[in-house]
A and B are shown apart, each in its own frame.
Chain A
Amino acid sequence: MNRRESLKSLLVGGVGTGLLISCRLDDDPDLSKVTDIREKDFDYGRTPEEAEYDEELMSKKFYTDEEMATILLIADIIIPGDGDHPPASKTGLAEFIEFITKDLPEHKTPMRGGLRWLDNESNQRFEKGFKMLSEDEQIAIIDDIAYPAEVKPQHVHGAKFFSRLRNLVTTGYFTSKEGIEYLGYQGNRPNVWDGVPPEVLEKHGLAYDEKMLKNSIKPEERNEIEDWKNYEI
């Protein structure tokens, strides 16, 4: 979902054209200097006003590269992925956190301040910024701020920051394609609902009573047009 720049003749939304454009850009990397007309990064049914607002946010940059690198480093500590699924930083997280911080400005100061808190804490303990610490040193600090119920007084601000970042990273991951796959969400596609699978009902010691079974829609009847001939109220 990186921003791409393209020629006006290719100004169309959608995944297919996106691919086409990346090929062209590969041919001529300087193309971006010829025009500032951009292909739409996102196409999800916006009104013109909404699209304009999205564009405006995307044209601005909040985090420095250094700040974002720290965010992604911690993100992968929070969500490291497993053998079959990538870590958080490989799921479009940088773009999401950059965007949402501008979209919900209440994140701005706590995020920036929290990153500073972290570097300051690292400096005090190890005389280096957080990114320069060894893994063990990083984890030592994170262990002090990752469990809000038992945090020491000198770490409360760090813990607040970590909870916020954990929220953003978790929500970013589980709303990404990869995260949804890890979670196992099965929906968002046309289907026919015919109740809870029998083995699940059994496992939970539950059952549909006779009335429910009798009254409920039979999947094979769903395309029939209802006629009310024998219906009485």
Chain B
Amino acid sequence: MSFQIIEQPVKYDICIVGSGAGGGMAAKILSEKGFKIALLEAGPDFDPANPEQRTQLRWPYESPRRGASTVRPFGDFDMAYGGWELEGEPYTKERGTEFDWFRSRMVGGRTNHWGRISLRFGPLDFKRKDFDGKGDNWPIGYDDVKPYYDKIDKLIGVFGTKEGIANEPDGYFLPPPKPRLHELYIKKGADKAGIPMIPSRLSILTKRVNKKRQACFYCNQCSRSCTVYGDFSSSSVLVNPAKETGNVDLFVNAMVREVTTDENGKATGVHYIDKTNLKDYKVRAKVVILAASACSSARILLNSKSSAHPNGLANSSDVVGRYLHDSTGSSRMAFIPSLMDRKRYNEDGVGGMHLYTPWWQNDNKNLGFTRGYHIEYWGGMGMPSYGFGFNMESLNSLVPGMNGEKKKAGGYGLGFMEDVKRFYGSTVGMAGRGESIPRKDNRCKIDNDKLDKFGIPVLKFNYKWSDEEVKQAEHMQDSFEEIIHAMGGVALGDKPGKESSFGLENPGRIIHEVGTTRMGDDPNTSVLNKYNQAHDVPNLFVMDGGAFVSQADKNPTWTILALAWRASDYLAEEMKKGKI
């Protein structure tokens, strides 16, 4: 059999790899400016409005596994095609280290299922080194990004409230939904404990921002992707308008192997494998933008070796793959006795919490750790799915039965059925999401011993938490108990202790991994300049979370979007001036 690489006939202005937040934003901005674009996505086509792919408003009994997470890691109805393990696409870990790598392969990527938590980084978040001497500052500050945060607020829509908190900048907010009952309970407890709770900031349309997208109808299912586009996903809000310009050719199931270069080391396009026929193709373009996710983009660069770039493309600094960092995470559940026997009503609300806790101790330098976390909450009378009613024996002896008599844990029969009914809506959960400190040795690199099923060398991870993150998790657990006790709740299970690093999740589990191609002014210590442009290769950009110097305790999406828009404006100017 002869091996042949088929060259796509069109030469594009720009080739974008990845259609999630960064790639979608770049595609929208640059196609509207008239550039001819090839948009490559490693997964299948996806549109939240496509009835054949819809999971929104389905009932648990429509799934034979009642929504269990066997096939999709967040349950059968979650809208991420992928997970921590993909068939035929392994990754490895250095012995004694942990990293779990989540990949979603579909148009829109992980934006189809994410929590829509849309927080701006604050002034402090770009300059943490100035504050605590650790890690590095960004080469840009809040004022550089603010105009773009403003623009995406208006384009995409995010609800919230103006609070005037120093490191939690206000934005152009749609009005938030009123809190649910359990959220009022938690707030009462948090108030007592001196921990703030404010309306959450989610990119969900409580009001409309344009005629193409409808307002939220409160089904709580943003993780299933919204058929009326009532929340943000890149597929519906960015990729669709980009396609409508007529300037975008979308290539789906296109698994990129490497960026191709000429003898001068400039990018000439990409080499990809069509997953449907397993044939190799080349797309030529004047500019290449990688937005395949922090680790996938790093992998593509490291695999793009040539005589001009023996260490991988854009990697003369040896920084590609380094400074990988995820958010910290730790959680606890509680039971609130006065929320038993609740009156039934529909409290689905928006997809996610209506109130959250922003980090409240930036001024406290005596915590034993630096960098903060925010707290997310859940609870309420939600739709049952697989796992509902499990372990009732740990709950139903905690309080007397209907007749006032203490019950034995466990049981069966009508009394047991009634217990399930009585406890429904009386448990809540909370989780901290914190900032970790990026470290040079926490990294991904190419595993020299292993290929994936497409013949592409795979990533090997080397990531360890430090004491800073463990102590932060301990603080989270203490805060959870303070809140739980102050609201009259009973903390469930044992408090995670030192032996489990206070419930600190493995790196990668929070799915906020960033930093692998960080930006900076010094080409010796950074991969990109402050406009997401590779120091070594002027016609190569990285517009995903890879560009982050540090990630704050904020979810990265809003900043990925803002930086991608900013970089796209810069790229367009440079092309106009003939500099690229």
Contacts and interface: CB of A to CB of B under 8 A. Distances in A.
Interface of A: 1, 41-45, 47, 50, 53-54, 57-58, 77-82, 92, 95-96, 99-100, 103-104, 142, 146-150, 163, 166-167, 170-177, 179-180, 182-197, 199-201, 203-204, 206, 208, 212-213, 215-218, 221-226, 228, 231, 233
A114 B216 CA distance: 47
B180 A182 contact: no
Contacts of B410: 146-149, 163, 166
Interface residues of B, number: 91
Given A171-B388, A204-B338, A226-B209, 17 more contacts: A44-B77, A45-B55, A77-B412, A78-B416, A92-B61, A166-B412, A171-B66, A171-B389, A175-B60, A175-B61, A175-B388, A185-B384, A217-B206, A221-B175, A223-B207, A233-B171, A233-B172
A217 B174 contact: yes
B343 A183 contact: no
Interface stretch (B345-353, B490-498, B527-535, B566-574): B345-353
Nearest to B175: A217
Interface stretch (B239-247, B262-270, B357-365, B391-399): B391-399
B402 interface: no
Contacts of B388: 170-171, 174-175
A166 B178 contact: no
Interface of B: 44, 52-55, 57-68, 70-71, 76-77, 81, 150, 154, 157, 159, 161-162, 170-172, 174-181, 184-185, 188, 199, 206-211, 215-220, 338, 342-350, 381-393, 397, 408-414, 416-417, 420-421, 424
A149 B409 contact: yes
Nearest to A170: B389
Nearest to A231: B172
Contacts of A228: 154, 172
Nearest to A223: B215
B68 A103 contact: yes
B181 A82 contact: no
B44 A174 contact: no
A198 B410 CA distance: 35
Nearest to A164: B390
A218 B207 CA distance: 9
- Could you tell me the dominant secondary structure of chain B's interface residues? loop
B96 to A, nearest CB: 27
A103 B348 CA distance: 29
B126 to A, nearest CB: 18
Contacts of A225: 207-211
Nearest to B391: A167
Nearest to B69: A104
B414 A80 contact: yes
A180 B170 contact: no
A82 B392 CA distance: 19
B177 A216 contact: yes
A208 B389 contact: no
Contacts of A142: 412
A196 B184 contact: yes
Nearest to A172: B66
A110 B345 CA distance: 38
Contacts of B181: 196, 200-201, 204, 206
Contact of A100 (B53, B349, B386): B386
A34 B425 CA distance: 50
Contact of B412 (A78, A184, A192, A224): A78
